[in-house]
Structure 1
Amino acid sequence: MKTAYLESAKKQFEYYKSVGEKTFDQLSETDFFWQYNQESNSIAIIVNHLWGNMRSRWTDFLNSDGEKQWRNRDMEFEPVIQSKEELFQKWNEGWVCLFDALDMINEDNFDTKIYIRNQEHSILEAINRQLAHYAYHTGQIAYIGRMILGSKWKSLTIPKGKSDEFNNAKFARGKHKGHFSDEH
């Protein structure tokens, strides 16, 4: 059960990472820095925040509080990323930190108590907390990308107005087993 949960969580993290990357693939460099208004976050700011959060939460995951003293959360919401290359470097560094930490979890340490801001969590609770947080922000990234691109946006799942076509093709391929998955 524990290892099945970990594999499921890894797949979900990989899925949300891919949502961000499929969005990035559609954007020009200037798009990463576009803001709806001065109060909103650009994709670069969201990536910077995810990077800071991932490094803080997943560095020394099993032994120290997920809110590290060296983290400067307020600076994560400033326009510090200056290039597409820096954005990709931070994006990848954050995800590597997360996946490396998840790979360290096993049957022997699964019951370790995890602390985030001095609040106790089970490993399952800590993973779920971050999974929801990262899904929230990758959704923002995709939404910003869609706002920027308008009609040039390429759907990341089933395109609008194409559900019947997708479902008919799926049934024709015999890929149904009484339920639908979110794998498109």
Structure 2
Amino acid sequence: MTIAQTYLNVVQKRFRGVKELGDKTLDQLEEAQLHWAYNEDSNSIAVIVKHVSGNMISRWTDFLTTDGEKVTRNRDDEFTDSLQTKEGVMAVWEKGWQVFLDALQKLSEADLQGFVTIRGEKLSVIDAIERQMAHYSQHVGQIVYIAKQVKGSEWQTLSIPKGQSQTFTESMLKKHQQ
């Protein structure tokens, strides 16, 4: 396998992992919790979902051939809390990820040698991918953080539970020795 194909496989796996963290977080939340915001200048989870999805659809529709900031995108509207139901939030979340993951899946090794534009700025395809990794991971981290605050003691951890690092490491080592 070439380094380019290895890279494509790795980024697809990592992005699916980021989505999974978001999925598992959203699954834990009730509708009202999706709309909680620390203050009027803060974003709720519903708003963050709307923004991430809008970004994905804009950036990844015709990724290789058109500017990533589509004229049809209304970025400012992404920051209004207008998604009324959990089903609506989830539909927007899934739509963005579907557009993005489909486009990522279609990239070839040769595509990695090319360039794309975002707001007129020329970026290598690899830079554009990495830029989105940072962006989407940041926002999913915000979603997780907000969810932990609103769930409190009802939060179900998505990683190694506190106080169980050594046990987890030992089980992983044992698993990989077999």
TM range (shorter): over 0.9
TM-score computed with the length of structure 1 as normaliser: 0.91
- Please report how far the alpha carbon of residue 168 of structure 1 lies from its aligned counterpart in structure 2 after TM superposition: 2.7
Comparing both structures, which one devotes a greater share of its residues to helix?
Answer: 2
Q: Which structure 1 residue ranges, 5 or more long, are not aligned? A: 178-184
Deviation string for 1:130-179 (max 9, x for gaps)? 011000000000000100111111110101121122123333x34269xx
| Greater mean alpha carbon deviation, residues 154-163 or residues 58-67 | 154-163
CA distance in structure 1 between the aligned counterparts of 2:9 and 2:116, rounded to whole angstroms:
19
Residue of structure 1 equivalent to 2:51: 49
Residue of structure 2 equivalent to 1:72: 74
Q: CA RMSD in A?
A: 1.4
CA distance in structure 2 between the aligned counterparts of 1:109 and 1:175, rounded to whole angstroms:
35
Residue of structure 2 equivalent to 1:154: 156
CA distance in structure 2 between the aligned counterparts of 1:15 and 1:75, rounded to whole angstroms:
28
Contact 2:60 2:99 in 1 (8 A): yes
Residue of structure 2 equivalent to 1:181: none
Structure 2 counterparts to residues 113-128 of structure 1, below 5 A? 113-128=115-130
Q: Residue 120 of structure 1: SS of its match in structure 2?
A: strand
Structure 2 counterparts to residues 58-97 of structure 1, below 5 A? 58-97=60-99
CA distance in structure 1 between the aligned counterparts of 2:18 and 2:111, rounded to whole angstroms:
26
Q: Residue 96 of structure 1: SS of its match in structure 2?
A: helix
Residue of structure 2 equivalent to 1:25: 27
Q: Which structure 2 residue ranges, 5 or more long, are not aligned? A: none
Q: Structure 1 runs of 4+ off > 2 angstroms?
A: 107-110, 168-171, 173-177
CA distance in structure 2 between the aligned counterparts of 1:43 and 1:8, rounded to whole angstroms:
27
Q: Residue 61 of structure 1: SS of its match in structure 2?
A: coil
Identity of aligned residues (%): 45
Q: Residue 172 of structure 2: SS of its match in structure 1?
A: helix
CA distance in structure 2 between the aligned counterparts of 1:167 and 1:65, rounded to whole angstroms:
45
Structure 2 counterparts to residues 91-170 of structure 1, below 5 A? 91-170=93-172
